[in-house]
Amino acid sequence: MTDNTVPARKPARAFFSSGPCAKPPGWAPEKLATESLGRSHRAKIGKTRLQLCIDLMREVLQLPDTHRIGIVPGSDTGAFEMAMWTMLGARGVTALAWESFGEGWVTDAVKQLKLEANVLRADYGKLPDLDQIDWSDDVLFTWNGTTSGVRVPDGEWIPDDREGLSFADATSAVFAYDIPWHKIDVATFSWQKVLGGEGGHGVLILGPRAVERLENYTPSWPLPKVFRLMSKGKLAEGIFKGETINTPSMLAVEDAIHALEWAKGLGGLEGLKARSDANAAALDKIVAERSWLGHLAEDRGTRSRTSVCLTVEGADADFIKRFAKLLEDQDAAYDVAGYRDAPPGLRIWCGATVDTADVEALGPWFDWAYAQLTAEAAA
């Protein structure tokens, strides 16, 4: 086969978007339970299914009983902003930003909440110096930078004797990495990432120090209803037992339950991690075999194994847009252009809902698209 020959084999499932991500293998709408659909989320069946979803998340995440878990509005963004609006302002704030969503939390803290935050930044593909963090502050960070392909190496940089709270946006990290929950006071994510679930719902995890903050501190700014975690001076415990603040989509809940039961069938967290690791290794091999491909995150120790961001030699934003369109038009790979705020490049989701064979099939398609575009440029 020459480089400009259309490859014979396509990925069986060409879904490589970093959000919403690929559904679990074998997913079909008829596999979802439907008894709760059309029923009130406050009816017994609704609350039972919501509680089951919470229990399954706790089981698969191996979340200790010290931490509460609740389903909240607004996807990961809503969950993280809920935590910021209800808990920040009690002490200083340090915000880490090495990609677009981290920058979003900086904007919220500085421009919306008017806090004098200490901001530690790094370019796309790198991490800021974690040793420079003042842990007398509350600290905001993304565990896995979905738009930069960079993750924190582990949780060892978070001290056990921290004075401030650790706030982890973990939306493309949970279900893919070991997260030391005793290091995390607040964590957020959405089902649409590693579980391949539907968007619109966030998950908020609170450790005991976060609960203590909520019960002993009242922010100076007003809180909208969908952010209110307190009732009569106490934590609204019902939120963490399936009594959601506003009306959830029970169809999205059933979709999440299906994904979590699929994850249990793999062996839980270990099975999910193994699939993601295999996918990332398959993509690493493709990159290593091509001189014109590279990793935006050069340090393997902090390189994402879910949202993997690639550089393409000589590519600008227009080249990447046409590269991605060529693959989409052939139904070979969908949604692989890098995030709009990131340097021009490709972004391949390697989370557990993707099959390794489909990642392996990408190599010849990358060659074909690259050859097509470079030939056009040379003509």
The per-residue pLDDT for range 12-59, each reduced to its tens digit, is: 999 999 999 999 999 999 999 999 999 999 999 999 999 999 999 999
Q: Which two tokens stand for residue 280?
A: 């990332």
Residue 1 pLDDT > 70, yes or no? no
Residue 79 pLDDT > 80, yes or no? yes
In this prediction, residues 220-226 reach a mean pLDDT of 95
Greatest Cα pair distance in the chain: 72
Tell me the whole-structure pTM to 2 decimals. Answer: 0.96
Show me where the domains of the chain are located: 29-264, 269-378
Is 123 in contact with 298 (CB distance < 8 Å)?
Answer: no
Residue 2 pLDDT > 90, yes or no? no
R_g of the chain computed on alpha carbons: 21
Is 15 in contact with 222 (CB distance < 8 Å)?
Answer: no
Calpha distance 134→356 (Å, rounded): 41
CATH code given to domain 269-378: 3.90.1150.10
SS3 content of the chain, % helix, strand, coil (to 5): 40, 15, 45
300-331 confidence digits (pLDDT tens): 999 999 999 999 999 999 999 999 999 999 99
155-198 confidence digits (pLDDT tens): 999 999 999 999 999 999 999 999 999 999 999 999 999 999 99
Residue 361 pLDDT > 60, yes or no? yes
* pLDDT band, residue 134 (cuts 50/70/90): very high
In this prediction, residues 223-236 reach a mean pLDDT of 94
Helical H segments across 10-74, by residue range:
44-61
Calpha distance 59→62 (Å, rounded): 5
81-102 confidence digits (pLDDT tens): 999 999 999 999 999 999 999 9
269-378 and 29-264 share a CATH fold: no
Calpha distance 204→244 (Å, rounded): 12
Q: Is the peptide bond before 20 cis (omega within 30 degrees of 0)?
A: yes
Q: CA torsion 83→84→85→89, rounded to 10°?
A: 130
With both helix axes pointing from N to C terminus, report the angle between 44-61 and 269-288 in degrees, rounded to the nearest 10.
60
Calpha distance 119→92 (Å, rounded): 11
The fraction of the chain above a pLDDT of 90, given in percent, is 97
Q: Does domain 29-264 have CATH number 3.40.640.10?
A: yes
Residue 313 backbone dihedrals phi, psi, to 5 degrees = -55, 125
Residue 3 pLDDT > 90, yes or no? no
Calpha distance 11→20 (Å, rounded): 18
Half-sphere exposure of 40 (CA within 13 A, CB side): 4
Q: Which two tokens stand for residue 158?
A: 């978070």
**Residue type at position 37:** L
Calpha distance 96→342 (Å, rounded): 17
Residue 379 pLDDT > 90, yes or no? no
Q: What 8-state DSSP symbol labels residue 315?
A: -
Q: Which two tokens stand for residue 273?
A: 């991690």
Helical H segments across the chain, by residue range:
44-61, 75-87, 100-107, 208-216, 250-265, 269-288, 317-329, 356-360, 362-378
In this prediction, residues 321-344 reach a mean pLDDT of 97
* pLDDT band, residue 112 (cuts 50/70/90): very high
In this prediction, residues 242-270 reach a mean pLDDT of 97
Is 365 in contact with 333 (CB distance < 8 Å)?
Answer: yes
Residue 354 pLDDT > 80, yes or no? yes
Calpha distance 13→140 (Å, rounded): 35
**Residue type at position 267:** G
Q: What is the pLDDT of residue 4?
A: 80
Residue 277 backbone dihedrals phi, psi, to 5 degrees = -60, -40
